[in-house]
Amino acid sequence: MTRDEVLATLRAQEIELPSWAFGNSGTRFKVFVQEGVPRDAFEKVDDASQVQAVTGVAPAIALHIPWDRVDDYDKLAAHAADRGVRIGTINANVFQDPDYMLGSVTNPDAAVRRKALGHLLECVDVMDATGSRDLKLWFADGTNYPGQDDIRARQDRLAEALADVYDRLGGHQRLVLEYKLFEPSFYTMDVPDWGTALAHCNALGDRAVVCVDTGHHAPGTNIEFIVALLIRAGKLGAFDFNSRFYADDDLMVGAADPFQLFRILHECASAEVLTPASGVTYMLDQCHNIEPKIPAQVRSVMNVQEATAKALLVDREALRRAQLERDVLGANAILMDAYNTDVRPLLVDLREGLGLDGDPIAAYARSGYAERIVAERIGGAAAGWGA
């Protein structure tokens, strides 16, 4: 790619923000409360607009229902548009109600399954009201002990619920199925891996696709291989970007293994699925426990941009030639040359070309927004969850 082509792709890139990362969040052990965090979905949208204002590539905010439930979703969507962003993916929550202790859509109790399905269909209503394209489903469902439940029966219940939701979607809407190897269930998760997710999506149809959460794999898993196979199958629908050192750590993307992030985005760049036209949603899914919320999301956006720029700088013609010539070391060197390139000056040029400050973190600090929300957001209940 020429420099102009790289810049054009980076300008077209979109990174979706998670509403929940603006609220108080943490681990199962403790949530450290911060001042100025949003108290409702409208204030989360306000904070997302600040990330967009300093990066220029984060125009959408994903919602999580019921965490972001409001009385008037048309009003919320209009508020987002007024702030220069839009409502993105709608995420369902069928893992915090006490009734879901033994599962939601795969629960042995038919009444619990009906309750869970009702919530999923409610989320489609939210999609209709906000103009959202994607419904992302992650299930905590599973078992802790051998013999606890019938594994095949649980898959049947899952397939039935997914089919009901899929049938409810509008023609432009998609079902995005996420998987997770373990936690909170430790013997079986009902959607533990990309193969299970892909099998269910294939059974549903063209508008059912897989979400790859980069923290949801066993240690040492080759995530870029999974990405390549899903692209080849036409079933890569979304990413949930975060970093992990040990398990599902939900740290800022690129913090733990920036080379892995580069390798993943190299697969996306080589398949030309980096821009919104590809249908792949690039979303952050992170838990900011000790770091300030808005700067953490800005930094994550910047990390994705850096890895993307390096992936775009790979000399693909030279790489293909080296591969065909069976030049093992030469091919690897071409990849490493791109990874070792300092792309920060290129990204400064990108931002300044968009009329933005070349340093988004400094621009946010100078804006005074952090001090303003601390002073103004007095009273009410801060968004988040307790631990």
Contacts of 365 (CB under 8 A, 6+ apart): 295
Alpha helices in 313-359 (DSSP H): 316-324, 328-339, 344-353
Q: d(Cα 231, Cα 226) in Å, to the nearest integer? A: 9
Residue 61 forms beta bridges with which residues? 17, 87
Domain range annotation of the chain: 3-376
What CA–CA distances, in Å, run from 360 to 11, 190, 323, 372? 15, 41, 39, 18
Q: Are 23 and 68 in contact (CB under 8 A)?
A: no
What CA–CA distances, in Å, run from 227 to 65, 230, 236, 333? 27, 5, 7, 22
Question: Cα–Cα–Cα angle for 245, 387, 49, nearest 5°?
Answer: 75
* pLDDT on residue 386: 54
Report, at the CATH architecture level, how domain 3-376 is classified.
Alpha-Beta Barrel (3.20)
CA pseudo-torsion sign 149, 156, 240, 56: negative
Indicate the average pLDDT of the chain.
97
Residue for token pair 């943490």: 26
Residue 17 forms beta bridges with which residues? 61
Q: Is the pLDDT of residue 383 over 80?
A: yes
* pLDDT on residue 387: 45
272-282 pLDDT, tens digit per residue, is 999 999 999 99
CA 100 to chain centre: 24
What CA–CA distances, in Å, run from 6 to 280, 305, 310, 346, 352? 19, 11, 10, 9, 15
Q: What is the mean pLDDT of residues 348-374?
A: 98
Q: d(Cα 379, Cα 188) in Å, to the nearest integer? A: 43
Residue for token pair 């300093």: 54
Q: What is the mean pLDDT of residues 137-156?
A: 98
201-245 pLDDT, tens digit per residue, is 999 999 999 999 999 999 999 999 999 999 999 999 999 999 999
Residue for token pair 């941009």: 305
Residue 358's pLDDT band (cuts 50, 70, 90):
very high
CA pseudo-torsion sign 199, 204, 206, 208: negative
Q: Is the pLDDT of residue 262 over 50?
A: yes
